[in-house]
Amino acid sequence: MKIVLMGAPGCGKGTQSPYVQERYGLCHLSTGDMLREAVTRKTVNGLLAKDAMNAGKLVSDDIVFGIVKDSIKNPECRYGYILDGFPRTLKQAQLMDEAGEKVDKVIEFSAPDEVILQRTSGRWIHKASGRTYHEVFRPPQSPGKDDVTGEELYQRKDDRRDVCEKRLEIYKNETRPLAEYFSKLGVYTMINADRTVDEVRKNIAALLDPIAVATGLK
């Protein structure tokens, strides 16, 4: 069974991926992990990716797909895989199709922009200890101060709201052509991710259980 999970940062994909992995015996492949492993192992595609990054260039779609192809050959992927963060572009999706990697289901996790931004922005950190706070979900007792030491908290650039807004907009622009592409193939479904973990989980199982039965995984 071959599954693609799509969703903006903070949509809940990371929470649900281990459940999908365990329920169907699939391997979980995230683009970042695959890229780091290929570079560490000095595979052909890993070396090409490292050269591109060292030169300050984006890693091309062909190289990224080469790394994905290498990864899905691993023994732990014998029953199928969950792709997380790939494909990121229309060309990457087309390369998969041309290589015969037919996806069984693409699930996009959807939540209102404000929910996504609330989850992804507003984190503050105490440098010395690593203690983390969130403006909404775990606010410090005194704004901008560590609960234990009273020292100033700092915010990473990636946790600022304006940066999170830009990342969300980039995600939307990248995803729109992919949603259209996979819809035409009849494998795309968008689910409401602004619900409890269990509710989202039941939705996912309802979508994937029939495929698992058809492929002999259940």
Alpha-carbon distance 131 to 44, whole Å?
40
SS3 at position 216: coil
* pLDDT tier, 81 (very low <50, low <70, confident <90, very high otherwise): very high
CB 112 within 8 A of CB 32: no
CB 122 within 8 A of CB 161: yes
Look over the chain and give the mean of its residue pLDDT values, rounded to a whole number.
Answer: 92
Alpha-carbon distance 190 to 181, whole Å?
13
- Fold classification of 2-112+165-215 is Rossmann fold (3.40.50)
- Does residue 10 surpass a pLDDT of 90? no
CB 97 within 8 A of CB 87: no
Q: Is 193 exposed, middle or buried (0-12, 13-18, 19+ CB in 10 A)?
A: buried
Q: Report which residue type is found at 122.
A: G
Output the pTM of the full model.
0.85
Phi first, then psi, for residue 24 (nearest 5°) are -115, 0
> Which residues participate in catalysis according to the annotation?
13, 88, 123, 156, 167
* pLDDT tier, 93 (very low <50, low <70, confident <90, very high otherwise): very high
Read off the tokens for 28. Answer: 């979980």
CB 193 within 8 A of CB 109: yes
Phi first, then psi, for residue 197 (nearest 5°) are -55, -45
